[in-house]
Amino acid sequence: MRDEDFEVFIDEFGEATHRTDVPAEAIQKWKGKLPDQLLTYWREEGWSGYANGLFWIVNPDDYEDIVDEWLEDTSLEQIDAFHVIGRTAFGDLYVCGERSGVNMTISCPINAIFSLPKDLKPKSKEDQDWSVRSFIGLSISECDLKDESGRQLFQRALKKLGPLEPDEVYGFEPAIAVGGKMRLENLGKLKLDVHLTILRQLASPTLPFSNVEIEKLLNS
């Protein structure tokens, strides 16, 4: 039976438009590494896409190489073991730490990582579960991108390019990191793993805090 938090999520995004049931062995594998609340959602809702692919709850195994690439040389990888648990149609990755819960967004389109030092600290199991419920409270507008004139892109990209498969993303060509513009005509439907790897190779991600602050976390 759905809890109140997921009911609010469904009210916002609608029922899943793509679903893969999560095998019992995957639940067992991630038990103790990811919050129990997330595993409950997996068991009940599967790894699923919502709002015609705008937002996805994903299998972390499919993103392990990608998250390692994006966190390499940032010192963040020293703080916790991080896993991708959700993503958007444009390649924003939502990340969960094994000790710190859901606490980070890797925005691949703009080569940026968003988090706060306090959110990276170890949390109790209860607080990790709370971080999942807070994460699932995101809105449709948070998952969308706006073009240079401030118009949201997803519905127009969906109409122009068609729906995404679980391994696809709407990506800008040329990439924003090399001077590309956030325009509908620059969007293509691309293989997610290849595109996100290329974006990481083009530029290092910007961080919302310094390596000095990360060092303080490591020594606290």
Structure confidence at residue 73 (pLDDT): 86
**Vertex 190: Cα angle to 68 and 95 (nearest 5):** 30
Six-digit token string for 4: 């109140």
Q: What is the DSSP string of 21-50?
A: PPPHHHHHHHBTTB-HHHHHHHHHH-EEEE
Q: What are the structural domain ranges in the chain?
A: 4-219
**Vertex 89: Cα angle to 103 and 188 (nearest 5):** 140
59: left (phi over 0), alpha (psi -120 to 50) or beta: beta
Structure confidence at residue 216 (pLDDT): 73
Structure confidence at residue 8 (pLDDT): 97
Structure confidence at residue 35 (pLDDT): 98
Structure confidence at residue 211 (pLDDT): 66
Structure confidence at residue 108 (pLDDT): 98
Instruction: Please write the tens of the pLDDT for every residue from 161-197.
Output: 999 999 999 999 999 999 999 999 999 999 999 999 9
Question: In what helix (H) or strand (E) does residue 103 lie, and over which residues does it extend?
Answer: strand 101-107
Tell me how crowded residue 109 is: count the other CB atoms within 10 A of its CB.
22
Structure confidence at residue 209 (pLDDT): 73
- The SS3 assignment for 187 reads strand
Weakly modelled stretches of the chain, pLDDT under 50: none
d(CA 81, CA 193): 20
Structure confidence at residue 220 (pLDDT): 66
For residue 85, give the nearest of 15, 133, 139, 28 by alpha carbon.
Answer: 133
For residue 209, give the nearest of 79, 56, 88 by alpha carbon.
Answer: 79
